[in-house]
């Protein structure tokens, strides 16, 4: 059973607009969440993270929102740029916070059109 779900395999957005990538989870014991970005032929790179004690974390154009009651988090990119075109992975960690328990979603491919 998939514990971290990214239900949209792909998303297309116009340059300058907002991109919203969604992630749902089923395990209420998850208490730390991360987003990674992956370009073709490269390894994933860390983007932003959020602890369950917060509901929002911002870093430049990237903001992650966490809704614990809905078991949902989202990544907002404003404004979107063509260089943001990549696959985005959501990941979650179990309470007690160990890297060994990091579980990834299947990814969402974002395309930002000029």
Q: State yes or no: residue 93 binds another protein (CB under 8 A).
A: yes
Euclidean distance between CA atoms 75 and 81, whole angstroms: 15
**Counting Cβ atoms within 10 Å, is residue 42 exposed (0-12), middle (13-18) or buried (19+)?**
exposed
Q: Which of 13, 63, 85, 89 binds another protein (CB under 8 A)?
A: 89
15 in Cβ contact with 80 (< 8 Å): yes
**Candidates 12-20, 39-47, 60-68, 78-86 — which segment interacts with another protein by CB under 8 A?**
39-47
Q: Which is nearer to another protein, 43 or 60 (CB)?
A: 43
Angle formed at CA 81 by CA 56 and CA 16, multiple of 5 degrees: 80
Q: State yes or no: residue 34 binds another protein (CB under 8 A).
A: yes
Residues listed for the chain: 114
Q: State yes or no: residue 104 binds another protein (CB under 8 A).
A: yes
Q: Which is nearer to another protein, 39 or 82 (CB)?
A: 39
Q: Cα–Cα distances in Å, from 19 out to 58, 78, 93, 111?
A: 15, 7, 24, 9
**Candidates 20-28, 60-68, 76-84, 103-111 — which segment interacts with another protein by CB under 8 A?**
103-111
Residues forming the site for another protein (CB under 8 A): 6, 32, 34, 36, 41-46, 49, 51, 53-54, 89, 91, 93, 97-100, 102-107
């Amino acid at each position: 059973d998939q514990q971290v779900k990214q239900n949209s395999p792909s998303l297309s957005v116009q340059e300058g607009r907002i991109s919203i990538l969604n992630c749902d989870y089923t395990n209420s014991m998850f208490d730390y969440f991360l987003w990674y970005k992956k370009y073709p032929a490269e390894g994933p790179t860390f983007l932003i993270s959020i602890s369950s004690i917060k509901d929002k974390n911002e870093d430049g154009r990237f903001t992650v929102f966490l809704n614990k009651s809905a078991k949902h988090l989202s990544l907002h990119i404003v404004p979107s740029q063509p260089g943001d075109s990549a696959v985005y992975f959501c990941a979650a960690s179990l309470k007690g916070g160990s890297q060994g328990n990091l579980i990834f979603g299947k990814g969402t491919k974002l395309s930002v059109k000029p």
